[in-house]
Chain A
Amino acid sequence: MSNILEVRDVAKFFGGIRALDGVTLSIPHKGLVGLIGPNGSGKTTLFNVITGFYVPDRGSVWFRESNSMVRIDGLNPNEVFRKGIVRTFQTPRLFNSLTVLENLLVTPVNQIGENVAKALYVKSWREQEIELSKKALGLLKTFGMLPYVNSRISELSVSHMKMLETMRGLMTPAKLYLLDEPTAGVDYSMARELFTYIKRLRDEQNLSFLIIEHRIEILMEFVDYVYVLHNGRLLSEGKPNEVTSDPKVIEAYIGA
Chain B
Amino acid sequence: MIGFDIVGFIISWLTLFGIYAILSLTLNMESGVSGVTNFGKVVFYGIGAYISATLTTYLILMLNGVDIVENPPYNINGVILLGELGSKNPVLNIGLFILSVFLSFIVAGFVGYLLSYPILRVGPEFVGFTLLSTGELLRIFLLHFEPVGASKGLMAIPNPLGWIPDSRVRETLYLIVILAFLALTYTVMKRLLNSPLGRTLKSVRDDETAALCMGKHVPKIKALVLFIGSGFTGVAGTLLSYYFTSVNPNMFVPSVTFNAWAMIILGGMGNLTGSLLGAALITLVDRLLTFITPLLGITVISPDYVRWIIIGLLIVVVLIVNPRGILPEKPIKTPALQQVEEELKK
The stretch of A9-17, A55-63, A105-113 in contact with B is: A105-113
Instruction: Known contacts A95-B202, A97-B202; decide if A86 and B213 are in contact (CB<8 Å).
Output: yes
The complex places the Cα of A111 from the Cα of B334 at a distance, in Å, of: 13
Q: Does B299 touch A at the CB level, under 8 Å?
A: no
Instruction: Determine if A78 and B329 form an interchain contact, defined as CB atoms under 8 angstroms apart.
Output: no
B193 to chain A, nearest CB (A): 9
Contact of B335 among A82, A99, A129 (CB under 8 A): A129
- State the Cβ distance, B212 to closest chain A Cβ, in Å: 4
Find the A residue at minimum CB distance from B205: A97
Which residues of A in the span 177-210 have a Cβ within 8 Å of any Cβ on B?
Answer: none
User: Cβ of B191 < 8 Å from any Cβ of A?
Assistant: yes
Does A150 lie within 8 Å of B331, measured CB to CB?
yes
Across the interface, do A172 and B215 meet the contact criterion of CB distance under 8 Å? Answer: yes
Which stretch of A116-124, A221-229, A238-246 is in the interface?
A: A116-124
Check B331 against A99 for contact (C-beta < 8 Å): yes
Contact B335 A133 (CB under 8 A): yes
Kindly provide the distance from the CB of B15 to the nearest chain A CB, expressed in whole angstroms. 27
Q: B149 within 8 Å of A by Cβ?
A: no
B336 close to A (CB within 8 Å): yes
B196 & A112 in contact (Cβ 8 Å cutoff): yes
Say what secondary structure dominates the interface of chain A.
helix
Interface residues of A in 136-156 (CB under 8 A from B): 136-137, 141, 146, 149-150
CA distance A76 to B209 in the complex (A): 11
Structural contact, B331 and A102, CB atoms closer than 8 A: yes
B343 and chain A: residue at smallest CB distance: A137
List the B side residues contacting A136 at CB < 8 Å.
336
- How large, as a class, is the contact surface on chain B? 35 or more
Cα–Cα distance between A70 and B92 once the two chains are bound (Å)? 60
A residues within 8 A CB of B211?
Answer: 95
Q: Does A39 contact B (CB under 8 A)?
A: no
A116 vs B226: C-alpha distance when bound (angstroms): 13
Q: Are A101 and B200 in contact (CB under 8 A)?
A: no
**Known contacts A78-B216, A78-B218, A119-B195; A126/B335 CB under 8 A:** yes
Q: Of A87, A96, A113, which contacts B206 at CB under 8 A?
A: A96
B340 located at the interface, meaning its Cβ lies under 8 Å from any Cβ of chain A in the complex: yes
Give CA–CA (A133, B344) in the complex, Å: 13
CB distance from B84 to the nearest CB of A (A): 44
> Is B212 a contact of A149 with CB atoms below 8 Å?
no
**Shortest Cβ distance from residue A29 to the other chain B in the assembled complex, whole angstroms:** 22
Residues of B within 8 A of A93 (CB): 207, 209-210, 213
> Are B339 and A133 within 8 A (Cβ)?
yes
A2 to B197, CA, bound (A): 37
Q: Say whether B212 contacts A78, CB under 8 Å.
A: yes
- Closest beta carbon of chain B to A234's beta carbon, Å: 25
In the bound assembly, the distance between CA atoms of A111 and B217 in angstroms comes to: 13
Expressed in whole angstroms, the Cα–Cα distance for A109 and B200 within the complex equals: 11
List residues of chain B with CB within 8 A of the CB of A116: 192, 197, 224, 228
B1 on interface, CB distance cutoff 8 Å: no
Contacts of B199 on A, CB cut-off 8 Å? 98, 102, 105-106
A81 touches B196 (CB 8 A): no
Q: In the bound complex, do residue A95 and residue B197 qualify as a contact, i.e. CB atoms below 8 Å apart?
A: no
Known: A94-B207, A119-B192, A119-B195. A77 touches B213 (CB 8 A): yes
For the complex, give the distance between the alpha carbons of A78 and B215 in Å: 4
- In angstroms, how far is the closest chain A Cβ from the Cβ of B72? 40
Q: Are B195 and A113 in contact (CB under 8 A)?
A: yes
In the complex, A117→B160 CA distance in Å? 30
Which residues of chain A are near B207, meaning CB under 8 Å? 93-96
Residues in B with CB closer than 8 Å to A175 are: none
**Given A94-B207, A94-B210, A105-B336, A120 and B228 touching (CB < 8 A)?**
no
Footprint of A on B, CB under 8 Å? 188, 191-192, 195-200, 202-203, 205-207, 209-218, 224, 228, 270, 329, 331-332, 334-336, 339-340, 343-344
27 A-B residue pairs with Cβ-Cβ distance under 8 Å, sorted by A, are A51-B213, A76-B212, A77-B213, A78-B212, A86-B213, A86-B214, A94-B207, A94-B210, A95-B207, A95-B211, A98-B203, A98-B206, A105-B199, A105-B336, A106-B214, A114-B195, A119-B191, A120-B188, A120-B192, A122-B191, A122-B335, A129-B196, A130-B339, A132-B336, A133-B336, A133-B339, A149-B340
